Amino acid sequence: MVMMKGEQWSNLGSKMAAIMFVYAMLRQYFPPQLQDYIFRYGKKLSNFMYPYIHVTFDEFIGERMKKSEAFSAIQNYLSDKSSASAKRLKADVVKDSQSLVLSMDYNEEITDEFNGVKLWWSAKRTTPKTQQFSFYPGADEKRFYTLKFHKRDRQVITGIYLSHVLKQGKAIAADNRQRKLYSNGAGQGWLGNRSSTTWTHVAFEHPATFDTLAMDEKKKREIKKDLVKFSNGKEYYAKIGKAWKRGYLLYGPPGTGKSTMVAVMANFLNYDVYDLELTTVKNNVELRRLLIETSNKSIIVIEDIDCSLDLTGQREEKKKKKKKDDKNEEGDPISAMSKNEERKESEVTLSGLLNFIDGIWSACGGERIIVFTTNHVEKLDPALIRRGRMDKHIEMSYCRFEAFKVLAKNYLDIDSHPLFGEIGNLLEETDMTPADVAENLMLKSDDDDDDDDDEVETCLKNLIEALKTAKDEASKKAEEDARLKAEKEQKEKEEAEKEQSVKEDVTQHAISAKEVKDNGVIH
């Protein structure tokens, strides 16, 4: 925030400077009392002619690193005011892709009134006069708001008005907030080599909620409670001296709702989602930069953590192998190209990730949830999932009757049905994912209501069929597994026996040989 007299003042200033210059030339001819008099009244005159103070609010603070919070708050505050009074408006922020949020256009001025005090806001931008070549288009553009008020109102403005604007602006932002889904894409640098990755975003509009999530009610309640406790826990985390963040590990077979759960959490807490694709992150430094750039009130999710990170220390072996290959392929242009491809492989390490999760950087920002999802919890390095890093482990499991009831309510709008009993029994005996159950509950047509009951029944019957098939397949598979297991055991047994007999033979042979040697007898 910079306090200054305005542009008009600078015009006036140049005139005053000319007057002062003439005055300085002539002052030697004036007596000292008259000099004082002229000076005092000159100042009064200028104040009288231009009694306003201007305050500017720049968009960025600190070397363009961080967007000024005040700027954003003012933008929101003014967009609310200006849609009523300004004549030229700019429609830029779109909420839920439904409504336009209007804000005043550049060089437009609007008047605001606060406790009987009148003041004026205007939006401005400066573009550099000289045409310079820049790597970042628009990087040199400077945007700012200017507030103009009478100097007699200084106390009111700096005392209460500005904090009122900030508070209102933030409240409007919270109402208008269009949540975002960020993902990190690999930027393409010059000559096709990879430049560093950055976050890009789209509006986050996933409709899943706890009500539509098929899961045990008790488990749902527990997770909700946990999330609420976290989001209200600012003081608590400060008190215990821990960074305000929480880690969740979602594990379970494919199609059990892990990704859906992330959307549900984000909708429940009204947070943004950062979908971090580790394989496109070049190295640990880049990982740290990306993570620092995330805003608070967000969920950072790393899907299929077991696939995206080399957790087993095989990286070293791979590197050695690569070196060997490099030597073999020197001079071959095709292999050189494929080598380039390989170099794109991420160098993010487990320790790099852990370092961010609970290293010294983890306290930057705060109010962040980190979610890992995996299909193979047993493959994960214990260091990654120990408590403190992943505070809560949530198992997403196959669809049982409780979960089915949620799906039936959502998909077919029914709470009960005579076929529920049979379905319940089958679900207890058969492992079917909520994704598969849901697929069977999709109504095929949406015409007349008359046929609805029939269609519901058909859906449920289809589900029963699918469950029976799955059950048969599962039992066949179990039989097959048992048979293979028995066969394997039998084979192993036979091999062991064979080995034993060979061993015995060898021993026998050795004994005979020894006898021959000792006795010098040849039979």
Ligand X SMILES: Nc1ncnc2c1ncn2[C@@H]1O[C@H](COP(=O)(O)OP(=O)(O)OP(=O)(O)O)[C@@H](O)[C@H]1O
- Catalog residues that contact ligand X under the rule CB under 6 A: 213-215, 254-260, 375, 396, 434-435, 438
**Closest C-alpha among 228, 364, 359, 386 to residue 372:** 386
Beta carbon nearer to Mg ion, 50 or 204: 204
For ligand X, which is the closer residue by CB, 247 or 257?
257
255's contact among Mg ion, ligand X, none, with CB below 5 to 8 A by partner kind, is ligand X
Q: Where are the alpha helices (DSSP H) in 53-98?
A: 69-85
Helix orientation angle between 420-429 and 401-412, rounded to the nearest 10 degrees: 130
Q: Which is nearer to ligand X, 128 or 254 (CB)?
A: 254
User: Which of these ranges, 47-55, 255-263, 393-401, 475-483, lies near Mg ion under the rule CB under 5 A?
Assistant: 255-263
CB of 440 to ligand X, least distance (A): 12
The CA distance from 273 to 368, in Å, is 10
Which residues are within 8 A (CB) of 22 and not within 5 positions of it... i.e. 6 or more apart?
Answer: none
Euclidean distance between CA atoms 515 and 522, whole angstroms:
9
Smallest distance, Å, CB 303 to ligand X?
6
Instruction: Give the N- to C-terminal CA distance of the chain in Å, as an integer.
Output: 111
Q: How far is the CB of 500 from ligand X (least distance, A)?
A: 46
Contact between 312 and 227 (Cβ < 8 Å): no
375, interface contact from ligand X, Mg ion, none, CB < 5-8 Å by kind = ligand X
Distance CA 178, CA 366 (A): 20
Selection from ligand X, Mg ion, none that 352 binds (CB < 5 to 8 A by kind) is none
184 binds Mg ion (CB under 5 A): no
Q: Within positions 418 to 437, which residues make up the interface with Mg ion, using CB under 5 A? A: none
At residue 300, what are phi and psi to the nearest 5 degrees? Answer: -100, 120
Alpha-carbon distance 425 to 447, whole Å?
A: 32
- Measured between alpha carbons, how far is 443 from 459 in angstroms, rounded to an integer? 7
The amino acid at residue 64 is R
Residue found by looking up tokens 């100097």 in the block: 151
Q: How far is the CB of 304 from Mg ion (least distance, A)?
A: 7
Q: Which residue is nearest to ligand X (CB)?
A: 257
CB of 255 to Mg ion, least distance (A): 8
Residue (144 or 372) nearer to Mg ion, CB: 372
Which listed residue (259, 294, 298, 397) binds Mg ion by CB under 5 A?
A: 259
Give the Cα separation of 186 and 200 in Å (integer).
10
Q: Helices 350-358 and 284-292: crossing angle, nearest 10°?
A: 30
68 binds, among Mg ion, ligand X, none (CB under 5 to 8 A by kind): none
Nearer to ligand X, 247 or 255 (CB): 255
Size of the site for Mg ion (CB under 5 A): 2
- Report residue 299 as tokens: 């969920």
* Closer of 426 and 432 to ligand X (Cβ): 432
Q: Which does 213 bind (CB under 5 to 8 A by kind): Mg ion, ligand X, none?
A: ligand X
Which residue minimizes CB distance to Mg ion?
Answer: 259
Give which of Mg ion, ligand X, none residue 294 binds (C-beta under 5 to 8 Å, depending on kind): none
Complex with ligand X: residue 175 or 211, whichever CB lies closer: 211
What does 260 bind: Mg ion, ligand X, none (CB cut-off 5 to 8 Å by kind)?
ligand X
Phi, psi (rounded to 5 degrees) for 465: -60, -50
Binding region for Mg ion (CB under 5 A) out of 46-54, 148-156, 257-265, 435-443: 257-265
Residue 309 interacting entry, from ligand X, Mg ion, none, C-beta within 5 to 8 Å by type: none
To ligand X, the closest distance from the beta carbon of 386 in angstroms equals: 23
Among all chains, which residue has been given the structure tokens 């494929």? 338
| C-alpha torsion sign, points 333, 337, 342, 346 | positive
Burial class (CB in 10 A: 0-12, 13-18, 19+), 470: middle
Beta-ladder partners of 299: 273, 369
The residue range among 92-100, 202-210, 259-267, 288-296 that interacts with Mg ion, by the rule CB under 5 A, is: 259-267
Q: Which does 162 bind (CB under 5 to 8 A by kind): Mg ion, ligand X, none?
A: none
Residue 357: name its binding partner from ligand X, Mg ion, none (Cβ under 5 to 8 Å by kind).
none
Beta bridge partners of 114: 117
Residue 435 interaction partner, one of Mg ion, ligand X, none, beta carbon < 5-8 Å per kind: ligand X
E strands, 293-429, are 298-302, 368-374, 392-395
CA angle, corner 213, sides to 207 and 217, nearest 5?
A: 145
For Mg ion, give the closer residue by CB, 308 or 362: 308
**Cβ count near 448 (within 10 Å):** 8
Residue with Cβ nearer Mg ion (176 or 375): 375
Of 169 and 434, the one with the shorter C-beta distance to ligand X is 434
Least distance to Mg ion, CB of residue 394, Å: 13
Reference 479, options 191, 180, 471; nearest CA is 471
Residue 253 Cβ vs Mg ion, minimum distance, rounded to whole Å:
11
Q: How far is the CB of 303 from Mg ion (least distance, A)?
A: 6
Binding site for Mg ion (CB under 5 A): 258-259
